[in-house]
Amino acid sequence: MGKTKAWILAARPKTLAASASPVVAASALAWRDGAFDALPALLCLGVALLAQIAANLANDYFDFKKGADDETRLGQPRAVASGWIAPKTMLVAALATLAAACLCGCGLLSFGPWRVLLPVGAAVALCVPAYSAGPYPLAYKGWGDVCVLLFYGIVPVCFTYYVQARAFTADAAWLSLALGFLSVNILLVNNYRDVAQDRAAGKRTTVVIFGRRFGRALYLADALLAVACAWPAYWRLDWRWWLPFLAFAALQLSTWRGMVRRDGAALNGTLEQTARNVFLFALLLAAALSPLAS
């Protein structure tokens, strides 16, 4: 394994759609409302991508230290557990990437009051290591799904819109829930696949706590809730715009059926499809929110 490829795999590029999608959707909403501003939108994209990469690198390090990643792992190989990258090097890289995300966040302070933006930036920065490290690692205590809903849905959509429009709106809140529910499903598939390993490592995910049947039901509920919560994007449009959202619901149902039928390493395909669906949904929202759709 070459070093470059090892670092690319450690960043988990196939899941980065979860961080880019909220920025795309929020910026499209700002465009519809006549408030689009490219610079803060790009800064938000930088924060989102760098923060997720930092979280992925940190998880690679801390899951190895806690024994959650070993030779029985069913998902994609982890860089530290596989011996491709030294643990200390991975930790330094995670902190450096988080610092870069914070630097992008500092650039956003000129697009809104610091009393509003600084606390949410601090929350993002603290959640990256707290997700899998510290005295109360959130991912190990059953809070992973809530963290994803907040930091891959509600926070990025609402605040990406805010730094452009200087306001919080109900439409942004609804779309933040839609993207958040879909992003939760990325984590859900991962935890559904790894339930045995997580249970052995003491990692109390939602699937470990409530079981795989609950995980399947939650995935389907999240998929349907996402389409329902996206109503501000299509409710005021011609009925023909509803058809792509119904088609997307059918795609989600097909992905869920694949999840139900698969097991073990075969679920890696479902994980990739779920991440793909998140980005497709963001593009669908962007098209529906475009002034061209009015």
How confident is the model at residue 15, as a pLDDT? 85
- Per the CB < 8 A criterion, the answer to whether 108 and 44 are in contact is yes
Domains and CATH numbers, the chain: 3-293 (1.10.600)
Tens digits of residue pLDDT in 21-37? 999 999 999 999 999 99
H helix intervals, the chain: 3-11, 17-32, 38-66, 87-107, 114-130, 144-149, 155-165, 170-193, 195-201, 206-210, 212-229, 231-234, 242-261, 267-289
- Per the CB < 8 A criterion, the answer to whether 184 and 145 are in contact is yes
pLDDT greater than 90 at residue 275: yes
Residue 138 per-residue DSSP state: G
pLDDT greater than 60 at residue 294: yes
Buried b (16+ CB within 10 A) or exposed e, 37-54: beebbebbbbbbbbbbbb
Distance CA 157, CA 171 (A): 10
pTM of the predicted structure, to 2 decimals: 0.92
Distance CA 257, CA 272 (A): 14
Tokens standing for residue 123: 């929350």
Tens digits of residue pLDDT in 178-190? 999 999 999 999 9
Provide the sign of the torsion angle of the four alpha carbons 141, 82, 50, 54, taken in this order.
positive
How confident is the model at residue 63, as a pLDDT? 83
Tens digits of residue pLDDT in 97-107? 999 999 999 99
Of 70-79, 89-98, 101-110, the range with the lowest mean pLDDT is 70-79
How confident is the model at residue 94, as a pLDDT? 95
Which has more confidence, 64 or 256?
A: 256
Q: What is the mean pLDDT of the chain?
A: 92
How confident is the model at residue 73, as a pLDDT? 62
User: How far is CA 89 from each of CA 4, 9, 57, 92, 173, rounded to the nearest angstrom?
Assistant: 14, 15, 10, 5, 39
Distance CA 131, CA 147 (A): 8
How confident is the model at residue 163, as a pLDDT? 97
H helix intervals, 154-211: 155-165, 170-193, 195-201, 206-210
